[in-house]
Homo-oligomer: A and B are copies of this chain.
Amino acid sequence: MNNWFKILLLSGLSFFTLGKAQEKVTIGEKQNVFSKVLNENREIWIHLPKTYNDKEINPAKYPVIYLLDGEINFEYYTGLSDFIARTPYADIPECIVVGIKNTERTRDLTPTKSQKKSPVNPEVTLFADSGGGENFVKFLQEELKPFINKNYRTQDYSILVGHSFGGLFAINTFLMHPDYFNAYVANDPSLWWDNEVSITRTKEYLEKNKKFPAHKMLYVSQADNEEKQKNWNSDMTQAIEKFKGIVEKNGSLNYKHTFFPGEVHGTVSYPGNYEALKFIFKGFRTDIKQLAKNPGLLEEDYKQFSKKMGTEFFPSESYLNIVLKFMKSNDFKEPETYFMNLKNKLYPKVK
């Protein structure tokens, strides 16, 4: 049904009545992938950025964000990653987001087997099914990442994002397999887990290696868990602060820690994930107005940025189109020619 027909129909009948066959606003697709490692089917939600299917540009590749607790975080996270990747004020490159839906959350996200009495009712035993973290990371590395890399146009840059047990998992993945991802985000991580086993692992890592690996990044957000909840989460606060102390004292890691006074454990991921993306991609934003005065700045900025990231990044074709449009509409002829040449160099037209 085309728009004109709808208009006629709606205005002819009644303005206040719903049209039929509404188009949906979609933000991703669900894939079912069977994991031999986990011996189960896993539901994966995949979000492709705005320009992914843009026929006006050459097929581009995108960094990939692996998002734990997909069913809780996918919707705002994909909105966030698209929103702050909007040209011309982009703070980050456009990214593919891969949300991983839980089956047995405690099993997958905890590094060791450990049980605990419920703080609400000591007769209830929690976490009987824990300790499958190593198996789950094997699934990510050996099955999920190859699946994503095969089926989507991915750039060789990936980020692992988790909250609570997911944050615990992100930090343990960083400690045990730092090469698996380029950056790690841990929102209010459950570092209290199993007598702070992750703190022990951090100390062991540094005793053995002295430094954290270069070009890796770790962002940790911390909620104000003390407020009103002393008996519940104070061990969480203590462990996070212990970890922060060790990492900051060592000083070799590109690390950022933010304490959010207004947030509790359940809400901190929202501002945390925003700050994390700004931290990881710091240096990405270029000022389109400055480029009018100094076109060479763009390539200089990208050289600097790539060096920091440990991976080569280039201005995207869609960004160059925006820059060209800006120069044209403001009648800045020399910069326009400069960026036209840059675009032709980076994205030669396929004959």
CA–CA, A17 and B76, complex, Å = 28
A27, A143, A289: residue with the most chain B Cβ atoms closer than 10 Å: A27
**Contact A11/B34 with A16-B147, A83-B75, A287-B228 known, Cβ cut-off 8 Å:** yes
Closest to A35 in B: B15
Copies of this chain in the oligomer: 2
A74-105 Cβ-contact flags toward B at 8 Å (1 or 0): 11111110111010010100000000000000
**Contact A76/B74 with A15-B34, A31-B18, A89-B266 known, Cβ cut-off 8 Å:** no
- What chain B residues lie within 8 Å of A120 (beta carbons)? 289, 292, 330
- Is the CB of A123 closer than 8 A to any CB of chain B? yes
**Contact A32/B18 with A25-B45, A264-B89 known, Cβ cut-off 8 Å:** no
A68 to chain B: closest CB distance in Å?
15
**Contact A24/B22 with A76-B83, A89-B267, A271-B274 known, Cβ cut-off 8 Å:** no
**Contact A18/B270 with A25-B28, A30-B25 known, Cβ cut-off 8 Å:** no
Closest to A228 in B: B287
- Is the CB of A252 closer than 8 A to any CB of chain B? no
- What chain B residues lie within 8 Å of A331 (beta carbons)? 121, 123
B76 A80 Cβ-Cβ under 8 A: yes
- Is the CB of A6 closer than 8 A to any CB of chain B? yes
**Contact A143/B15 with A24-B29, A27-B26, A123-B331 known, Cβ cut-off 8 Å:** yes
- What chain B residues lie within 8 Å of A350 (beta carbons)? none
Q: Residues on A close to B: CB < 8 A?
A: 3, 6-7, 10-11, 15-19, 22-34, 36, 41, 45, 47, 72-80, 82-84, 86, 89, 91, 118, 120-121, 123-124, 143, 146-147, 150-151, 228-229, 232, 262, 264-267, 270-271, 274, 278, 287, 289, 292, 329-331
| CB pairs A–B below 8 angstroms (27 shown) | A7-B32, A15-B33, A15-B143, A17-B150, A17-B151, A23-B29, A25-B26, A25-B30, A25-B75, A26-B26, A27-B27, A27-B75, A75-B79, A75-B82, A75-B83, A83-B270, A84-B267, A86-B266, A89-B267, A120-B289, A120-B292, A121-B330, A121-B331, A228-B287, A232-B289, A270-B274, A271-B274
